[in-house]
Structure 1
Amino acid sequence: MSKPITNATGRRKTAIARVHILAGSGSITVNGRDFEEYFPTVALQNQILTPLALTNTRQQFDFNVNACGGGITGQVGAVKLGISRALITVNPEHRGILKKAGLLTRDSRAKERKKPGRPGARKRFQFSKR
């Protein structure tokens, strides 16, 4: 494997994705597998390709991603943010395009904690009149 051009980190919920950009022909591997195999649905695959489509860099770089934690949706969001951040370090001119599309903002929504004495985070016990 050749030396990475740059690295970036993306986070979403409890998922973390470390993205390494290499000069190449457009392959994306996630945890040693092709990203189409790792993320099975077309909707998830399109989310990952969004920053590449906006900046027209799909065929210029290879991406090697190490994703851990969370679930599939959280990992997709983390990979998307990591790729966007990595593209900016390679070419700062992409910042305006990616920022306008909202791809540089970390989605800070996470699971709300369960409160003591309650069955869930917001759920209340059933009301009893008598």
Structure 2
Amino acid sequence: MADTDTVQSLADLKNVVDGTVGTAGGDVKAIDPATLPEPKIDELGRAYATGKRKNSIARVWIKPGNGKITVNGRDVEVYFARPVLRLIIAQAFQVSDRVDSYDVMATVKGGGLSGQAGAVRHGITKALTYYEPILRAPLKAAGFITRDSRVVERKKYGRAKARKSFQFSKR
């Protein structure tokens, strides 16, 4: 698929899946629903995924609902007080046009709040792809499926921090 053969929105994706229209660049292979993997849903109607970011690990369960997000037994507004962190968590739902469609229950451990928010977003993204495999393409295009592997560099001996040296003393 060339760079010009991209799907710009979910409406375009639906048209490609239906086989009714191609994109501007030319022929695009239509996604056959029969080739998509089966949804991974447990007996309670939930999809489970693990998300990771920095030193944080989030276990995430999603099920159809009205958009209630619970993190470690607390409401998302209480646990993630900063609006930026709540925005990070909601990005996967906004890209997939599923805002207020799923209830999320997450448990997260390790790291700080920023890493935990990224881990929850990664877990929500993976759980959405398990629940609705058709959403994989737009979420992958947004870059949410790939785990952000950047971690803090370790401190080395003979150094003040990872790379910072001690102040040089001439005498």
- Both structures adopt the same fold (TM-score exceeding 0.5): yes
What's 1:53 paired with? 94
2:103 aligned with 1:62: yes
2:127 aligned with 1:83: no
Q: CA deviation at 1:105?
A: 1.2
What does residue range 1-130 of structure 1 map to in structure 2 within 5 Å?
A: 3-129=44-170
Q: CA deviation at 1:116?
A: 1.1
- Between the aligned residues of both structures, percent identity stands at 49
**Alignment partners' CA distance in 1, 2:83 and 2:45:** 28
Q: CA deviation at 1:3?
A: 2.2
For structure 2, the residue ranges without an aligned partner over 5 or more in a row are 1-42
Q: CA deviation at 1:129?
A: 4.7
RMSD, matched Cα = 1.4
- SS of alignment partner, residue 107 of structure 1: coil
TM-score, normalised via structure 2 length: 0.71
- Count of residue pairs brought into register by the alignment: 129
For structure 1, the residue ranges without an aligned partner over 5 or more in a row are none
Q: 1:42 to 1:127 in 2, by over 3 A?
A: same
Q: CA deviation at 1:125?
A: 2.1
Structure number with the higher strand fraction is 1
- SS of alignment partner, residue 64 of structure 1: strand
**Alignment partners' CA distance in 1, 2:86 and 2:99:** 13
Q: 1:117 to 1:47 in 2, by over 3 A?
A: same
Contact 1:11–1:81, Cα closer than 8 Å, also in 2: yes
Please identify runs of 4+ aligned residues in structure 1 that moved more than 6 A.
Answer: none
Q: CA deviation at 1:57?
A: 1.3
Bigger RCO (CA 8 Å, 6+ sep): 1
